[in-house]
Amino acid sequence: MRGFIKHSLDAGVIVQRVEVSHPSLLSVPEEGYIWTEVPSPAAAWTVEIEDGEAVPVPLVPSTERMIREVTTGLLRDIKLKRDNLWQDVATTTFGPVNINAQSRDNIQGILEMFKIAAELGQPISEVEFTMADDQDISFTHQQFRQMALQVGLYVNSAHRRKRDLQAEIEAAETLEDLLAIDINSGWPS
């Protein structure tokens, strides 16, 4: 298929953009209008007059549209980075801990178990917890609380980094401002 644009002689008015297999299939243009061949797809092109000749020119999205698209992409990317970190492993002083939603629920459940046992006068001295490297570690209540706090701080730092980047992205006024934002650094490791 070949692309064609029907436009005014001065290229000030674009009437139609089409794709046809051969120029003979084009309608005869009205007086004051001509067809100009452009690369396919014709929808991605416009026509300008240079030295008295109609010349195909690629359509360039408006600056506002480009800013909107880059902003949307950056916001999507930082949310994905945060969400991926929340499914990853947090490094704690006790070793690596899975931090997906199920693991965080397990941590919360063990903390609750320590609390309930103490309230019933049957304190638990230790629990075993399987770390991300498949090592079973024995934890006292205090140790487990410390490990859970470190996991919580890791999760919170990922969320805080996402919020900080989101504020920076939303405050950007130009495309250059957006492109200068480093969304890859500052995340917890």
**189 in a structural domain:** no
HSE-up of 165 (CA within 13 Å, CB side)? 27
Say whether both 38 and 73 belong to one domain.
Answer: no
How high is the pLDDT of residue 60? 81
Say whether both 30 and 8 belong to one domain.
Answer: yes
The CATH number linked to 149 is 1.10.287
**186 in a structural domain:** no
As a whole number of angstroms, the distance between CA 173 and CA 175 comes to 7
Beta strands 45-50 and 89-92 are unpaired
**92 in a structural domain:** yes
Statement: the pTM of the whole predicted model exceeds 0.85: no
Residues ≥6 apart with Cβ < 8 Å to 115? none
Say whether both 49 and 93 belong to one domain.
Answer: no
Say how many domains are in the chain.
2
pLDDT by position in tens, the chain (length 189): 899 999 999 999 999 999 999 999 999 999 999 999 999 889 889 999 999 999 999 988 778 878 988 999 999 999 999 999 988 999 999 999 999 989 999 999 999 999 999 999 999 999 999 999 999 999 999 999 999 999 999 999 999 999 999 999 999 999 899 999 999 999 998
Domain extent, residue 156, equals: 63-179
Q: Strand pairing partners for 37? A: 4
**96 in a structural domain:** yes
- Burial code (b: 16+ CB inside 10 Å, e: under 16) for 62-98 equals eeeeebeebeeebbeebeebbeebbebbbebebeebb
- Report the 3 state secondary structure along 31-72: CCEEEEEECCCHHHEEEEEECCEEEEEECCCCHHHHHHHHHH
**133 in a structural domain:** yes
Mean pLDDT of the chain: 93
How high is the pLDDT of residue 66? 85
Q: What is the pLDDT of residues 63-112, one digit of tens each?
A: 887 898 899 999 999 999 999 998 899 999 999 999 998 999 999 999 99
Say whether both 72 and 155 belong to one domain.
Answer: yes
